[in-house]
Structure 1
Amino acid sequence: MIQQNVSILAQLQTFLTQISPQDYSRPLPLLQAQPIGRQVRHCLEFYICFLESISKPNALLSYDKRKRDLRLETILEEAQAQVLFLQKQLQKQQIPLVELILESDAPQGKMRLVSSTERELLYLLEHTVHHLAILRLSAQCYFPYIEFAGDFGVAYATQKNEAESNASKSNC
């Protein structure tokens, strides 16, 4: 699961190397006048929150209470540097496969749930893919100079389903 997260961050980094600093921080109507950098900041902060939480004994994991760093939203170079840092952290750390307590501010009130590092790595992966899809749609609308791999922002289950569907069609 760690390598899949490193790979999805590499896809994000490829995107970041293509977008201009001005476009990265430009408010877009499609994103309710928010910059594309807000989507990036959001993803990066979830990884930061996860890594900080598992580095503390008996720590509570709360994505809702994560630190917000607006530099990641507005300064392209900061986001690029953070992606590289997170990839290195994921690769070098021995991520313990332990139980975590996840805290969330749900509509019905604060909730505490049992989770695990493996489950949260899967969540981070799927969460990031979802936001890559938003990045892709936004960039295709406003920044047609950016090129995307076919699987950028496409969920792994969708990729698998499409591959199986195409394979069964070719067997007819």
Structure 2
Amino acid sequence: MKNVSRNLLSEIKILLSELGDNDYSKNLSILNGNSIGKHVRHILDLFECLLDFENGIVNYDERKRNIETEVNKDIALQKVQSIISDLEKLDIEKKVILIQKLNDSFCEINSSIERELLYNIEHCVHHLAIIRIGIENNFDYVKIPENFGVAHSTISHREQMAG
């Protein structure tokens, strides 16, 4: 799972290196007024939240939401690289408690770093699909890999159908 996470984050790095600085932070109507940068920041915030868990607790509701990451592509690229490096030190066997607010109450769920890493992978793919829509409809100069933002199960299904 660390490998899959690194690969997804590396795809973000490649994409950002092709995307213009102003286009990164440009609000796009097809994304309900959000930018590519806001989606990248959101992905990175959740990965950082998992990597920075304290006292065995993961709480995505209390992530940092660093606005500089969504408007400054260079800061986003630095964060991507930092997360890739920090993934190496992550002990996926560690047990954690996930705290999530639902309506007016909090849920506490026994989980593990491994399970939360899988959540982050699926969450990342979901947002990459949204980013893909924004890029395809606004920035045709950016080359998007064929499977960018496509779920792993969908890729496998397509390969089975083709072969």
With the shorter chain as reference, the TM-score category is over 0.9
Match of 2:50 in 1: 50
Residue-by-residue CA offset, 1:47-99 (whole Å, 9 max, x unaligned): 1100000xx3x3310111111100000001000110011111112x1424121
Amino acid at match of 2:93: L
Unmatched 5+ stretches in structure 1: 168-172
Greater alpha carbon shift after TM alignment, 105-114 vs 16-25: 105-114
Q: Name the SS for the 2:106 alignment partner.
A: strand
Q: In the alignment, which residue of structure 2 is the partner of 1:156?
A: 152
Tell me what 1:18 maps to: 18
* Matched ranges for 1:80-159 at <5 A: 80-91=77-88, 93-107=89-103, 109-159=105-155
The corresponding residue for 1:170 is: none
| Structure 2 counterparts to residues 56-71 of structure 1, below 5 A | 56=54, 58-71=55-68
**2: distance between equivalents of 1:9 and 1:114?**
27
**What secondary structure sits across from 2:142 in the alignment?**
coil
| Alpha-carbon distance in structure 2 between the residues aligned to 1:103 and 1:115 | 10
The 4+ residue runs of structure 1 with deviation greater than 4 A are none
List per-residue Cα deviations over 1:123-172 (Å, max 9, x = no partner): 111110111111111100010111111111000000011111111xxxxx
Q: Name structure 2 gaps, 5 residues minimum.
A: none
Give the partner amino acid of 1:40: V
Once residues 109 and 150 of structure 1 are traced to their aligned partners in structure 2, the CA distance between those partners, rounded to angstroms, is: 41
Q: Does 1:32 align with 2:28?
A: no
For residues 123 and 150 of structure 2, the distance between their equivalents in structure 1, rounded to whole angstroms, comes to 11
Task: State how many pairs are aligned.
Answer: 163
Identity of aligned residues (%): 32
Question: Is the Cα contact below 8 Å between 2:51 and 2:90 reproduced in 1?
Answer: no
Q: For 1:120 and 1:138, how far apart are their aligned partners in 2?
A: 27
- What is the deviation of 1:18? 0.7
Contact 2:56 2:95 survives alignment (8 Å): no
Q: Which has the larger radius of gyration?
A: 1
The residue identity in structure 2 corresponding to 1:22 is N
Supply the distance in 2 between the matched residues of 1:21 and 1:80 (Cα, whole angstroms): 12
| Equivalent position SS for 2:93 | coil
The residue type paired with residue 118 of structure 2 is L
Tell me the distance in 2 between the aligned counterparts of 1:94 and 1:22: 34
